[in-house]
């Protein structure tokens, strides 16, 4: 019997219309466009206003996938929502999205792997498909990062934005396309450098946690930078070697979008031409779990069947990883 593979058969992305510009930020904290562009590379970030959550953005992209593919919600066996900003602590945002989209015959859960969420989520869904457990899965990256941004902290407030993007993953017996291989890593050494102190069970919301602004992102930028700038390239080299591939075999790199300097350094170490390294950080900022599927959505018309795509990310945990996808469409 031939082996079952998982292939991406649709991708969609969405970002809210409202944006925060560098000039807007310069009215809130001591910063300016020149510093943000030269140190991070971001011009605007999108913001989801009001009491909406990641599930509202995710519903838009999942509905579009189902409609465009002519698939009934009952056919979806698994929904994974990768997010660090769930609608609420529980139930999982995946369950809320499934409910909003009428997905009733499957199961779903969230994955919190920081900015590496989508890489972990795509890997997990692939394994369920390869094991014959489900035939169609939706993997979502959806974040309302602006809900945990401290707009009094100039070191973190320029970085993050809101968005959602998702892929449809389907079982196939076709050889040589789809999600081919992946390597994932994590190291708890990163906990102290990048976290949100309050809102969990150790420090539930209290007057003190709110007053001390502990419900926001805490990041030691330089420590995170030093790891991120090495690890995405390193794990990609590891993945290439495991698959007997050369750097020249990569058609496109879809790197996590945290800092343009990190993206460029990763592309350079992998000896890629600038046009092979996909970038949207200038317009969206870091949308955490949504960066990679959003890049895939925006560049889908460039990809040809059989192209080697490398998806790589680094995030809170620390978590990092790389996936090799042979484009199937
Ligand atoms: C956060 C980050 C952009 C900061 O850039 P940096 O070049 O490391 O800047 P530093 O933190 O060293 O700060 C340098 C100076 O700029 C200042 N600064 C920080 N943010 C600023 C801002 N928005 N505007 C102006 N000055 C700023 C600092 O206060 C510091 O000033 P000082 O020298 O007087 O103390 C960068 O470290 C980064 O991208 N880190 C990695 C993030 C990442 O990859 N995350 C992945 C998971 S989400």
List Cα–Cα distances, 28 to 32, 158, 185, 209, 218, in angstroms: 10, 11, 37, 22, 18
90 contacts: CB under 8 Å, gap ≥ 6: none
Q: Which of 115, 157, 193, 280 is flagged as catalytic?
A: 115
Q: Profile the chain (329 residues) by mean pLDDT over runs of 10 residues.
A: 92 98 98 98 98 98 98 98 98 98 97 98 98 98 98 98 98 96 98 98 98 98 97 98 98 98 98 98 98 98 98 98 97
The H or E element that residue 239 is part of is: helix 221-242
Q: Which ligand 1 atom sits nearest the alpha carbon of residue 219?
A: 1
Which protein residues touch ligand 1 with a CB less than 6 Å away?
31, 35-36, 39-40, 115, 154-155, 158, 221-222, 224-225, 228, 258-259, 262, 286, 314-315
Is 243 known to be catalytic?
no
Q: Which ligand 1 atom sits nearest the alpha carbon of residue 228?
A: 44
Residue nearest to atom 2 of ligand 1 (CA): 221
Q: How far is the CA of 192 from the centre of ligand 1 (A)?
A: 17
Report the alpha-carbon distance of residue 319 to residue 181 in Å, rounded: 17
pLDDT at position 1: 64
Classify domain 5-176 by CATH number.
Answer: 3.40.47.10
Classify domain 179-326 by CATH number.
Answer: 3.40.47.10
Give this prediction's pTM.
Answer: 0.97
Residue with tokens 């990768």: 82
* DSSP three-state, residue 276: helix
Q: How far is the CA of 145 from the centre of ligand 1 (A)?
A: 18
Tell me whether the CATH fold assigned to 5-176 matches the one assigned to 179-326. Answer: yes
Is 112 known to be catalytic?
no
Ordered DSSP codes for 9-58: EEEEEE--S-EEEHHHHHTTSS--HHHHHHHT--SEEE---TT--HHHHH
pLDDT at position 2: 79
**Domain map (residue ranges) of the chain:** 5-176, 179-326
Is 115 known to be catalytic?
yes
pLDDT at position 301: 98
């Amino acid at each position: 019997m031939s082996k079952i593979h998982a292939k991406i058969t649709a991708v969609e992305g969405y970002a809210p219309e409202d944006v925060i510009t560098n000039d807007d930020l310069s009215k809130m904290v001591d910063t300016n466009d020149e510093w943000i562009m030269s140190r991070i590379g971001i011009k605007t970030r999108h913001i989801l206003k009001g009491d909406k959550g990641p599930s509202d953005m995710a519903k838009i992209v999942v509905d579009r996938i189902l409609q465009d593919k002519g698939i009934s919600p009952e056919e979806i066996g698994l929904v994974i929502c990768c997010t660090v900003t769930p609608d609420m602590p529980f139930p999982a945002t995946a369950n809320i999205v499934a409910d909003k989209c009428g997905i009733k015959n499957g199961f779903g859960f969230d994955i919190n792997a920081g900015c590496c969420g989508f890489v972990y989520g795509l890997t997990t869904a692939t394994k369920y498909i390869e094991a014959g457990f489900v035939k169609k899965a939706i993997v979502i990256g959806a974040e309302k990062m602006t809900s945990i941004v401290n707009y009094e902290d100039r070191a973190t407030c320029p970085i993050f934005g809101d968005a959602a993007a998702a892929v449809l993953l389907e079982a196939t017996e076709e050889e040589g396309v789809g999600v081919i291989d992946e390597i994932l890593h994590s190291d708890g050494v990163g906990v102290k450098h990048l976290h949100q102190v309050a809102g969990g069970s150790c420090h539930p919301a209290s007057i003190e946690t709110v007053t001390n602004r502990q419900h926001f992102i805490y990041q030691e930028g330089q420590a995170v930078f030093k790891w991120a700038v090495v690890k995405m390239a390193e794990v990609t080299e590891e993945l290439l070697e495991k698959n007997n591939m050369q750097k020249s075999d990569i058609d496109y790199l879809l790197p996590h979008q945290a800092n343009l300097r990190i993206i460029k350094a990763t592309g350079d170490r992998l000896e890629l031409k600038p046009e092979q390294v996909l970038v949207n950080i200038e317009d969206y900022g870091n949308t955490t779990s949504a960066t990679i599927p959003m890049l895939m959505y925006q560049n889908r018309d460039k990809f040809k069947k059989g192209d080697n795509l490398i998806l790589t990310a680094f995030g809170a945990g620390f978590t990092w990883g790389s996936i090799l996808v042979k484009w199937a469409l």
